[in-house]
Amino acid sequence: MPVNYSEIFNIILLTFKVSGTALLFSVILGFSLGFFVALNKFPGKKILVAVINTGMGLPPVVVGLLVLLFLWRGGPLGFLEIIYTPIAMVIAQIILATPIISGLTMAAIQQVPQKMIWQARALGARGLNLVWLLMRETRLSLLAAVMAGFGGIISEVGAVMMVGGNIKDQTRVMTTAIVLEAQRGEINMAVALGLVLLALSFSVNLGLTIIQQRVKNR
């Protein structure tokens, strides 16, 4: 059976929308949580760190199941009626990627010498000013965190299939389409999608790596 290029284009476009949106929110939430935990002392900090570290290795199918239970018609958020929609897929990917980004961000900030942070605070750096200073200091590690988060999002299949339903022209992204086409025996379509997914992943990571190396050489 010949490759349906129109269908592939629609799948690629939806993948960009879902994964791009999920990555944006994951970076915002991950950076915020990572900086907050690394720079502050509060009761239960060790527990929160343990939760973040556990979240870095969450099985995607478990995340998919939890989101499904919450968004199902009889679930706590069932009234939103967003199960089997791209929004549900974005939520699942955010839950998967945020712990990865926040954990790596937290580790990066903790590597900054404590004396430097004390000195910055003594000179009046507070709030966003301190965060911006530390972001510049750890920018290489933060870019690595973004790349790791993107890798977790773009390669995910179990959770998005559970909460999205893999519906043609609505919730079918590249990873779920590859699984479906392989199961159908449509190897040409599966291979075509697989090559596009590899090219997309390589291109994004290449771009981030180039930025990272330029920053390193400054």
Helix H or strand E segment including 210: helix 187-216
* 94: pLDDT strictly greater than 90: yes
> Confidence class of residue 92 from pLDDT cuts 50, 70 and 90?
very high
Q: What is the DSSP letter of 75?
A: S
> Confidence class of residue 113 from pLDDT cuts 50, 70 and 90?
confident
Instruction: Answer whether CATH 3.20.190.10 is correct for domain 5-216.
Output: no
Length of the chain: 218
The pLDDT, as a whole number, for residue 33 is 94
The verdict on pTM exceeding 0.85 is yes
Nearest-angstrom CA–CA distance, 181 and 103 = 35
Between 72 and 189, name the one with better pLDDT: 72
